[in-house]
Amino acid sequence: MAEHNKEEFLSVSNLEVVYTQARRVVHAVNGVSFKVPKGSTLGLVGETGAGKTTIAKSIMRILPDPPAKILQGEIYLDGENLLNKTENEMLDVRGGKIAMIFQDPMTALNPLITVGDQILEVLLLHNSYSREEGMKRAGEMLETVGIPAERYGEYPHQFSGGMKQRVVIAMALACSPELLLADEPTTALDVTIQAQVLDLINDLKVKFQTSMILITHDLGVIAQTCDNVAVIYAGSIVESGTKEDIFDHPTHPYTNGLFDSLPSMAGEDEMLHPIAGMPPDPTDLPKGCAFSPRCPHAVDACRKGPVPMKEISPGHFCACIRKGGELDG
């Protein structure tokens, strides 16, 4: 890979995706742009329905079409435009260069095939291993995620939820993907197992220099794993920056709302402040700032037209007319 591309290993520009059913058009992703440098992790955080999974599936090129349609945008991985690739070319990219850990790990496993053989299948698809070499490598992958290789011949139902998720991660990592899309990898797990899986993801990042997008609605998960953060609301990124920018200087009213709705560290009796109201109807997004119906700082100007991203400090971007501009405050 050319040196100058390192900062733009993955580059998504102006991505727009809709789902059309009958006459309803769901505006799921509305002009999203971001970059993931080589070896770094981007946290994509936002409420349910914000468009997170749709973005990941766009990169994997596994959106169901119909109803999904990419209306515009570019997705470059290591200098190649993924949106111009044929389905055959994408077969090589998937599981080879990019792997995805799906939101529901249980559906990613076949109950009738042993966990070892499921990892083996992925390996054989993308490598010229003999069966024997592949089995050895699959056993090593199990060990990497903390499962003894002797359990190769067991079936998914013989594993706990956390271990199944580890198997899914082993499958995703079996071909040393250069980009890993992890969609809520720990949501289904209890807190202790969650911590173990996050540790594992962090270890693998160091070991394999994997670039990652970690999708979550949980800022705690972001804090433990990510270098950069993009906050997404109603299909648009409303704030992005380094983890420190977002955690130490949250600026967009929606980002602040997310932090205020976190269980306080101060004590169990502290009041939570969930963001009032509901996300907007994606078939009928508000004109102007999509957050305006819920925003405590909204003024008439917020509802007039598109709100552009502004760089409020180097590398820290925010889409709010009242932040970093003349309506500040």
Ligand X SMILES: Nc1ncnc2c1ncn2[C@@H]1O[C@H](COP(=O)(O)OP(=O)(O)OP(=O)(O)O)[C@@H](O)[C@H]1O
- Binding residues for ligand SF4, rule: CB under 6 A, are 252-253, 289, 291-292, 295, 297-298, 302, 307, 320-322
Closest separation in Å from C-beta 135 to Mg ion: 34
Three-state SS at 292: helix
Cβ neighbours of residue 329 closer than 8 Å, sequence gap 6 or more? 322
Three-state SS at 31: strand
| Number of neighbouring beta carbons within 10 Å of residue 4 | 8
Pattern of binders to ligand X over 246-285, x per CB under 6 A?
------------------------------------x---
Give the one residue of 11, 41, 53, 196 binding Mg ion; rule: CB under 5 A: 53
Residue 41 binds: one of ligand X, Mg ion, ligand SF4, none (C-beta under 5 to 8 A by kind): none
H-type alpha helices, 127-252? 131-144, 161-173, 191-208, 219-225, 243-248
What is the DSSP pairing of strand 68-77 with strand 10-21? antiparallel
160 near ligand X, rule: CB under 6 A: no
Q: On the CB side of 190, how many CA atoms lie within 13 Å of its CA? A: 4
Q: For 186-328, list the strands marked E by DSSP.
A: 211-216, 228-233, 236-242, 310-313, 316-318
Helix (H) or strand (E) holding 98: strand 98-101
Q: Kindly state the greatest CA–CA separation across the chain.
A: 68
Pattern of binders to ligand X over 66-105, x per CB under 6 A?
-x-----------------------------------x--
Q: Which CB sits closer to ligand SF4, 153 or 305?
A: 305
Query: By the 8 A CB rule, do 47 and 279 touch?
Result: yes
Q: Which CB sits closer to ligand SF4, 63 or 320?
A: 320
The one-letter code for the residue type at 202 is N
Closest separation in Å from C-beta 296 to ligand X: 23
Residue 297 binds: one of ligand SF4, ligand X, Mg ion, none (C-beta under 5 to 8 A by kind): ligand SF4
Residue 163 binds: one of Mg ion, ligand SF4, ligand X, none (C-beta under 5 to 8 A by kind): none
Secondary structure letter of residue 171 according to DSSP:
H
**Cα–Cα distance, 251 to 324 (Å, whole number):** 9
26 near ligand X, rule: CB under 6 A: yes
Residue 256 binds: one of ligand X, Mg ion, ligand SF4, none (C-beta under 5 to 8 A by kind): none
21 near ligand X, rule: CB under 6 A: yes
Q: Which CB sits closer to Mg ion, 100 or 138?
A: 100
**Cα–Cα distance, 228 to 210 (Å, whole number):** 15
Closest separation in Å from C-beta 53 to Mg ion: 3
* Cα 214 to chain centroid, rounded: 4
Give the one residue of 9, 19, 34, 254 binding ligand X; rule: CB under 6 A: 19
Q: Which CB sits closer to ligand X, 103 or 202?
A: 103
Which residue has 């205020």 as its token pair? 260
Residue 136 binds: one of ligand X, ligand SF4, Mg ion, none (C-beta under 5 to 8 A by kind): none
Binding site for ligand X (CB under 6 A): 19, 21, 26, 28, 46, 48-54, 64, 67, 103, 217, 282
Binding site for Mg ion (CB under 5 A): 52-53
